[in-house]
Amino acid sequence: MARPDIEKLFSDIWQSREETVYPRLFGSILPHISTIPPEFLAGDRIDFKPPALWLHYGVLQSPPDSIRNCWVYVSSGLSNPTLDQCENPLPEGPSGIGFEVVMFTATESAWAVRIIQWVMANQLLTAAGMTTFELMEIFDRIHVPPELRPSPLSHIDYLFVLPMPPDMHHFELPTGRVELLMLVGVTEAEMKFARAQGGDGLLELLQHHGMSRVTDTDRKSVI
């Protein structure tokens, strides 16, 4: 595929995701994208130079509306196709790394933006073989570094990866399928519960307490 054709495909995919898919799923999307800070993309190897395109990936946000009384934060860029996917699209396969991530918060949250940027950077570096980790999956628990915790008083120490509701579970791009993964902040005690009872056990517990969707960084542990 010629470079102009690839550039047009990227533009069409970006436009489809941000101007059609996300507004359909979440409602009004604010026009500004909070791009990933370069320091998040540095990785552990000082000789690694991230692709310039990564610096345009970031987080979009959607304010509450008459249907939804919480804020939505959603990544944009993880589903951008690789060059091989551009030249050999497989509609039944993944586009990019195959997912984007979402977080719901009760109030506007600069922390939600920053933590999703950090998650995005880690997933991009993992997909590029720059870490020893694997791409995240449903029921994974991701430790939040001390410097990225919501506040010194917050009990939120981990991100719990959950499936989105069925009507928001995935969408299709010309270069493949994209799953939406939801991030929910959880505490150390809740994470230990998941180790003993499994991810589905923690999900059931959070659902019982009404904490399985919207992250409240000021809440106490349910355990």
pLDDT tens by residue, the chain, 223 residues: 566 677 888 888 989 999 999 999 999 999 999 999 999 998 666 677 888 999 999 999 999 999 899 999 999 999 999 878 887 877 789 999 999 999 999 999 999 999 999 999 999 999 998 888 899 999 999 999 999 999 999 999 999 999 999 889 999 998 899 999 999 999 999 999 999 999 999 999 999 999 999 999 999 999 9
* Count of structural domains, the chain: 1
Region for 158 from its dihedrals, namely left if φ exceeds 0, alpha if ψ lies in -120 to 50, beta otherwise: beta
Does the residue 223 lie in any domain? Answer: no
Does the residue 16 lie in any domain? Answer: yes
Does the residue 173 lie in any domain? Answer: yes
Predicted local confidence at residue 174, as pLDDT: 86
CA-closest candidate to residue 191, choices 149, 161, 153: 161
pTM: 0.94
Q: How far apart are CA 27 and CA 168, in angstroms?
A: 12
Spacing of C-alpha 85 from chain mean position: 21
CA-closest candidate to residue 108, choices 18, 215, 1, 223: 215
Does the residue 210 lie in any domain? Answer: yes
Q: How far apart are CA 111 and CA 11, in angstroms?
A: 29
Domain that holds residue 175: 3-215
Does the residue 220 lie in any domain? Answer: no
Spacing of C-alpha 125 from chain mean position: 14
Does the residue 222 lie in any domain? Answer: no
Classified as helix, coil or strand, 139 is: coil
